[in-house]
Amino acid sequence: QSPPTQPASVSGSPGQSITISCTGTARDIGSYNLVSWYRQVSGRAPQLIIYEGNQRPFGVSSRFSASKSGNTAVLTISGLLTEDEGDYYCCAFGSDTSLTFGEGTKLTVL
């Protein structure tokens, strides 16, 4: 199963908003509203920031939100902070009940 496609990198200035897309297929993102998003900093353990489309775990800032249209999920980060830098991965649930992480997007806050 091919990994969902993400842009290799995105950047923004503090206070701005950015979006990261995650394009899968009709057999994963297109069929289920079960996309999760994770942030990983410097190779450390990832952190769950969004699940089931647009739900945030306790403690995750409301600056993080997500949506889905067709086979593409989108993560939005508003009011960028320097601490938001890191690698962002989407994770899609597939029709074979397996999970596939996206290619990953490096966020740089200029």
Length of the chain measured in residues: 110
Query: Which position among 29, 86, 102, 107 is part of the footprint of other proteins (CB under 8 A)?
Result: 102
Number of residues near other proteins (by CB under 8 A): 27
3-state SS, residue 41: coil
String of b and e for 52-81 (b: at least 16 CB within 10 Å)?
ebbebeeebeeebbbebeebbbbbebeebe
**29-48 positions binding other proteins, by CB under 8 A:** 34, 36, 38, 40, 43-48
8 contributes a contact to other proteins by CB under 8 A: no
* Residue 47 neighbours by CB under 8 Å, 6+ apart: 38, 39, 40
26 contributes a contact to other proteins by CB under 8 A: no
**51-70 positions binding other proteins, by CB under 8 A:** 51-52, 57
The contact set with other proteins (CB under 8 A) reads 1, 3, 34, 36, 38, 40, 43-48, 51-52, 57, 89, 91, 93, 96-104
